[in-house]
């Protein structure tokens, strides 16, 4: 065994420590990705786009049918995401030193947000001591008949996550 000192880089994640906490980012990975894809000099985008379609491996072909057209739209989506990453490659997560392990959760749902199958997407985020601990965004398994039903389903998933974290901490 050899002591290599404080962790600075691990599995593509840069680690920076300070008196207030730990900051994690993937700056080097993002810059390498932009270089490899030839988009290092691209114009940055302020926001990523919402993905309502699948990304496909046949993105370099001319569209001859609906599926291939969707793949080309997917290529545009990938380019947009890379342009967003170009806007701030140093963004990351800050985990602050905090002795208070208060668990807080936020949930959201979009009713019938998918135009292809009218299913809703549920999202939740949980924070422990002010630090992001878990997050999830997933299409619901069933079609909700109302906004209230979609919101109820996402709240149920979020509460389950909060209860699991609370039990884990106790």
Helices vs. strands in the chain: H and E counts, helices first: 3, 7
Q: Quick one: what percent of the chain has pLDDT higher than 70?
A: 84
Torsion over CA: 12, 31, 55, 112 (sign): positive
Residue with the larger pLDDT of the pair 140 and 52: 140
Q: Which residue has the tokens 């980012």?
A: 25
Predicted local distance difference test score (pLDDT) of residue 53: 44
pTM value > 0.75: no
Query: For 95-154, what is each residue's pLDDT tens digit?
Result: 888 777 788 999 888 877 777 777 888 888 898 888 888 888 888 788 887 888 888 888
Which residues does residue 131 pair with via DSSP β-bridges, in sequence order? 128
Predicted local distance difference test score (pLDDT) of residue 15: 92
Which residues does residue 121 pair with via DSSP β-bridges, in sequence order? 110, 139
Report in angstroms the alpha-carbon separations of 164 from 53, 55, 105, 134, 161. 32, 33, 12, 11, 5
| 71 and 56 Cβ atoms separated by less than 8 Å | yes
Q: Which long-range contacts (CB under 8 A, 24 or more apart) does 134-138 make?
A: 134/161, 134/165, 136/161
Q: For the chain, what are the domain ranges? A: 9-92, 99-169
């Amino acid at each position: 065994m050899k002591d290599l000192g404080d962790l600075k880089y691990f599995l593509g994640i840069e680690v920076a420590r300070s008196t207030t906490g730990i900051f994690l980012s993937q700056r080097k990975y993002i810059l390498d990705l932009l270089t490899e894809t030839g988009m290092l000099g691209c114009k940055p985008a302020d926001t990523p786009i919402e993905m309502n379609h699948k990304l496909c491996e046949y993105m370099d072909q001319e569209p001859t049918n609906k599926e291939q057209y969707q793949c080309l739209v997917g290529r545009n989506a990938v380019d947009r995401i890379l342009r967003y990453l170009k806007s701030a490659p140093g963004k990351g997560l800050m985990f602050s030193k905090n002795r208070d392990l208060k668990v807080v959760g936020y949930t959201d749902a979009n009713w019938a947000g998918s135009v292809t199958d009218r299913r809703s997407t549920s999202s939740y985020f949980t924070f422990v001591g002010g630090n992001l601990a878990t997050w999830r965004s997933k299409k619901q398994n069933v079609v909700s008949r109302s906004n209230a039903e979609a919101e109820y389903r996402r709240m149920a998933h979020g509460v389950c996550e909060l209860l699991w974290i609370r039990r884990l901490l106790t």
